[in-house]
């Protein structure tokens, strides 16, 4: 039985979404304001975007963030998917062990995990940079890939796998030809989410960046600390557009795969 949504319910939900998206719209709107202050609207301009493109420091940190995010999402997709497949085949006890350690990074507040990694890498004398960033970002990205892939794995009909094995397929062949294609949409969505999370991380990156490898969010955070400037608005808007492009792409991809399924 579904209850009809009351008028009040519809109103509440709409109000909630207005408040949810109002701050985001505010940021976008004021990126086009000619005045450097939000106090007044003095006309439409694209100047702040031009200023942005001339900023070398932002370009450099954007590049670092992209490199780290792409590598992180690939690494996370591989480790996360492998873990989910391994957990599916492992004994019940081992499966519990894998799941237990898998969610560990999600349960530790990021500051605490960040400090722990800082101390660890420091004592190993590892230089802070791409490696430390990717290694640390993977820690909170892999669990999400694992969760999304194993949700999909649960839905797979075990009898298909059994018949493949009966027909003489090796474990690896069965994985490659049956499991991987079936979970591919989940892997794609999950690795895009990993990309987004890596590109967005402020806390852990604060401790993992080296002197020449400041990531974009760490740089934006230091800009925001100074106060509101339309340049930050423009930058945030561009990131938002880029991210929505990625989400759209993943939606398209998932739909296409689903069509092929049928």
Partner 1 sequence: MQTLKRNILAVPILVWLGLFVGIPLVFVFVLSFLSRDSLGTIVFQFTWENWQRVFDPIYLRVFRNSLLLAFLTGLVTIVVGYPVAYITSNLEPKKRALSIGLIMLPFWISSLLRTYGWMILLGNAGIINNVLRALGIIDKPLPMMYKFGTTLVGTAYMLIPFAIVAIFNSVDKLDRSLLEASYDLGANKRQTFFNITLPLTLPGIAGGFTLVFIPALGLFYVSDLLGGGNTIFLGNMINTQVTRGRNRPLAAAFSIAMIAVVLLVISIYGRIAKDDAEGLFL
What part of residues 228-257 is at the interface with partner 1 (CB under 8 A)?
228, 232-233, 236, 239-240, 243-244, 246-247
Scan for tokens 């339309």, then name that residue: 230
Is 12 one of the binding residues for partner 1 (CB under 8 A)?
yes
Q: Which stretch binds partner 1 (CB under 8 A): 19-27, 46-54, 63-71, 181-189?
A: 19-27
Given the rule CB under 8 A, which of 49-57, 65-73, 180-188, 214-222 is the region that contacts partner 1?
Answer: 214-222
226 binding partner 1? (CB under 8 A): no
> Binding to partner 1 by residue 2, rule CB under 8 A?
yes
Cα distance between residue 29 and residue 20, in whole Å: 16
CB within 8 A of 116, min separation 6: which ones?
108
Task: Tell me if 134 contacts partner 1 by CB under 8 A.
Answer: no
The residue count for binding partner 1 (CB under 8 A) is 87
User: CA-CA distance, 214 to 57, in Å (whole number)?
Assistant: 9
Report the nearest approach of partner 1 to the CB of residue 233 (Å): 8
Separation CA 53–CA 209 (nearest Å): 23
Contact call for residue 73 and partner 1 (CB under 8 A): no
Half-sphere exposure at residue 169, Cβ-oriented, CA atoms within 13 angstroms: 16
What x-and-dash track marks residues 152-191 binding partner 1 by CB under 8 A?
----------------------------------------
C-alpha distances out from residue 160 to 64, 177, 182, Å: 43, 11, 11
Q: 38-67 mask for partner 1 (x: CB under 8 A)?
A: xxx---------------------------
Q: How far is the CB of 77 from partner 1 (least distance, A)?
A: 14
Site stretch for partner 1 (CB under 8 A), options 23-31, 49-57, 65-73, 156-164: 23-31
* 77 lines the binding site for partner 1 (CB under 8 A): no
Contacts of 128 (CB under 8 A, 6+ apart): 121, 208, 209, 210, 211, 213
- Residue pair 207/118 in contact by the 8 Å Cβ criterion: yes
Cβ-contact 218, 151 below 8 angstroms:
no
């Amino acid at each position: 039985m579904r209850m009809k949504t009351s008028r009040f319910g519809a109103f509440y939900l709409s109000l909630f979404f207005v408040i949810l998206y109002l701050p985001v719209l505010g940021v976008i709107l004021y990126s086009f304001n000619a005045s450097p202050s939000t106090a007044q609207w003095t006309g439409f301009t694209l100047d702040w975007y031009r200023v942005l493109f001339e900023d070398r420091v932002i370009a450099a940190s954007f590049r670092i963030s992209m490199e780290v995010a792409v590598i992180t999402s690939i690494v996370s997709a591989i480790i996360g998917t492998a873990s989910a497949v391994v957990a599916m085949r492992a004994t019940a006890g081992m499966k519990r062990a894998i799941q237990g350690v898998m969610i560990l990074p999600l349960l530790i507040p990021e500051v605490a995990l960040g400090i722990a990694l800082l101390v660890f890498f420091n004592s190993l004398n590892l230089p802070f940079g791409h490696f430390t960033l990717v290694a640390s970002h993977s820690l909170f990205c892999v669990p999400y890939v694992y969760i999304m892939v194993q949700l999909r794995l649960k839905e797979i009909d075990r009898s298909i796998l059994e018949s493949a094995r009966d027909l003489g397929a090796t474990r690896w062949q069965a994985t490659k030809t049956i499991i991987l294609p079936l979970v591919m949409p989940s892997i794609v969505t999950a690795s895009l989410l990993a990309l987004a999370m890596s590109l967005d991380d402020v806390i852990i990156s604060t401790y993992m960046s080296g002197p020449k490898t400041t990531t974009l969010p760490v740089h934006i955070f230091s800009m925001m600390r100074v106060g509101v400037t339309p340049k930050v608005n423009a930058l945030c808007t561009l990131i938002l557009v880029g991210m929505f492009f990625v989400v759209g792409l993943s939606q398209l991809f998932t739909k296409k795969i689903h069509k092929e399924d049928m």
